[in-house]
Amino acid sequence: MTRQHVSMRSASVSLAAIALTSAAAWAGPGSDPRVTSTNGAGDVLCVSVKGTPELPTGTPTGRAAPTLLRTYPQWDYWNLDTNAVRDSAGLMHFGVRLWEYDNRIPYYDRYVIDSTGQVVETWLGWDGLGSVPAFTDANGHNVFVRPSSSSQYFGVTDLAENIHVLNTSAESTGWEVRYSKLDPQGNTVIPWTVITTGADCWNWYLAPVLNHNGRIIVTWIRDTADICAIYSDDLGVTWSSIVVLFPNAGGDQAVSVKTLVGADNSLHFVWRTRNWSTNTERLWYSKARADWTVAVDETMFYEGTAAWYPFASLDDQGSIHVTFAPTYDVATDMYYTRLRGDMDLNGAAATDARLSAIQERVFYSDPDYVHYPMNLVDANGTVHVVYEEGDYGCNTDKDLYYMALCSLAGDLNCDEVVDFDDFGIFADVFAGADNPAPAGSDATDFANANSNNDEDVDLADFTAFQAAFGSSG
């Protein structure tokens, strides 16, 4: 697929002195034959497109238009229950749990995408390792695919390739955290065991991570208030008591914490709060050092009417990429922001201006409803996103889409440099203060060029673009 940006609106931007043309091209998938494998019943389990990308390996193709990965008609569950992970070979894996109310099978679909945005493998009806969403990558490492939103298995793999699996269960003592350990082949080593009681994990969501010393850390929000953790230093044999890291996090009802491990074993937390009196929702960030002390206290970086299930990933330079949609049911916009993960403020909170390297902005709009955008960032800094499109609710049609977006301010074609090619895109969507996107222009280009997120692309945005011109990732 090739898109051309040739309609230059530089005259209307008072830029007539600058004459240029630009084109941004995206490579399509190769034409190599497909390789399939089937189970005993003859069902297709894997469809793998083998071949060399048209662009050199590791070179981003740019922010492509959304690509439909699969349709799920009359889906008998509230959402598609997507999940994601980047493996040790740099490939992005996005999964869909196939469990439905009337079809409670344990299988998954998994889509493997390389750094150029090509879908290089599609696994259909995949059963993982040990019936949990773990797989072995091309380097021989086991990887656990972490979920986006709802109740299912959560887990990590350790340096010996063992698979550690967790979930929650409501009991008379409060929500319990349950644990099981599998060997590298998926055989049970430790059967399901309660490792803590009174977890009160209101929305089922756990966020387990493995730090670089081999410590397994399981975090969650207790009773919609406290960010808590338990940990194991002996690969799941024994577990600590509950450690309260951030009590009453954010002050309002808190849910859906995402936890990431930094290169120095610091812990980064992103979560959401809701005030039911004012219907105000906020997104928060905090950071704890490896010894549990606070490096950055609770810092709000988004406030609005809704911000459901933020998803966060950490890149190789320590930046945190967050995607979210403003509601769970009727959202037509999806948002992106990039946070600085390198700060240590000795326990103080940051300001939003200091924390946010890129302020939250709409990265894609769709008149059909969109939900649960989740992201993985590759070694080039390209942010790969999958999201669900369709009516919210049971027995409604749902589609899974993929797209890539740019994390560098002003880099509108996602090639990690802000140059004249990006200016060509900017000039295409420039319309001036209080004006909508020009007729026939790309809505996502318009949203990306709108750097201050004020619903127009005007001279203020051009000033920001000038400041970014010449920068690189």
Q: Which two tokens stand for residue 291?
A: 């010894």
Report how far residue 458's alpha carbon sits from residue 449's, in angstroms, rounded to the nearest whole number: 9
Q: Structure pTM?
A: 0.79
Domain ranges for the chain: 1-26+409-473, 44-60+64-405
How many percent of the chain have pLDDT more than 70?
83
On the question of pLDDT at 62 being above 50, the answer is no
Q: Long-range contacts: 289-293, Cβ < 8 Å, 24+?
A: 289/264, 289/265, 289/344, 290/211, 290/264, 290/265, 290/266, 292/229, 292/243, 292/245, 293/347
Neighbours of 102 (CB within 10 A): 8
On the question of pLDDT at 117 being above 90, the answer is no
On the question of pLDDT at 21 being above 50, the answer is no
287 — pLDDT class (breaks 50, 70, 90):
very high
pLDDT at residue number 152? 74
Report how far residue 148's alpha carbon sits from residue 74's, in angstroms, rounded to the nearest whole number: 21
- For every residue of 410-439, DSSP letters joined together read T-TT-SSB-SHHHHHHHHHH---TT--PPT
pLDDT at residue number 185? 94
- Mean pLDDT for the stretch of residues 300-314: 89
Q: Out of 182-191, 215-224, 233-242, 400-409, which region has the weakest mean confidence (pLDDT)?
A: 400-409
The better pLDDT of the pair 96, 55 is held by: 96
- Mean pLDDT for the stretch of residues 374-393: 90
Going from the C-alpha of 143 to that of each of 50, 92, 184, 323, the distances in angstroms are 21, 11, 10, 22
Report how far residue 471's alpha carbon sits from residue 463's, in angstroms, rounded to the nearest whole number: 14
**461 phi/psi in degrees, rounded to 5:** -70, -35
Three-state secondary-structure class, residue 352: helix
- Mean pLDDT for the stretch of residues 99-118: 88
On the question of pLDDT at 13 being above 90, the answer is no
453 — pLDDT class (breaks 50, 70, 90):
low
CA proximity to 7, closest of 426, 455, 449: 426
Look at domain 1-26+409-473 and name its CATH class. mainly alpha
CATH number at 44-60+64-405 = 2.120.10
CB distance 222 to 246 below 8 Å:
no
Q: Which two tokens stand for residue 102?
A: 């009337």
- Mean pLDDT for the stretch of residues 79-106: 91
452 — pLDDT class (breaks 50, 70, 90):
confident
Three-state secondary-structure class, residue 259: strand
How many percent of the chain have pLDDT more than 90?
52
pLDDT at residue number 49? 39
pLDDT at residue number 293? 97
- For every residue of 436-451, DSSP letters joined together read -PPTT--HHHHHHH-T
On the question of pLDDT at 268 being above 90, the answer is yes
Report how far residue 399's alpha carbon sits from residue 68's, in angstroms, rounded to the nearest whole number: 7
Report how far residue 50's alpha carbon sits from residue 35's, in angstroms, rounded to the nearest whole number: 8
pLDDT at residue number 1? 29
In terms of Cβ atoms closer than 10 Å to its own Cβ (0-12, 13-18, 19+), residue 449 is: buried
Q: Out of 17-31, 86-100, 142-156, 210-224, which region has the weakest mean confidence (pLDDT)?
A: 17-31
On the question of pLDDT at 35 being above 50, the answer is no
- For every residue of 181-236, DSSP letters joined together read EE-TTS-EEEEEEEEES----TT---EEEE-TTS-EEEEEEETTTEEEEEEESSTT
pLDDT at residue number 68? 92
On the question of pLDDT at 83 being above 50, the answer is yes
pLDDT digits (tens, 9 = 90+) for 119-177: 889 999 888 899 899 999 999 999 999 876 555 789 999 999 999 999 988 877 778 99
On the question of pLDDT at 42 being above 80, the answer is no
pLDDT at residue number 214? 97
On the question of pLDDT at 50 being above 60, the answer is no
For helices 420-429 and 459-468, give the axis angle rounded to 10 degrees.
170
CA proximity to 193, closest of 228, 235, 233, 238: 238
**Rg of the chain in Å (alpha carbons):** 22
**423 phi/psi in degrees, rounded to 5:** -65, -35
Report how far residue 208's alpha carbon sits from residue 261's, in angstroms, rounded to the nearest whole number: 10
Whether 44-60+64-405 and 1-26+409-473 are alike in CATH topology: the answer is no
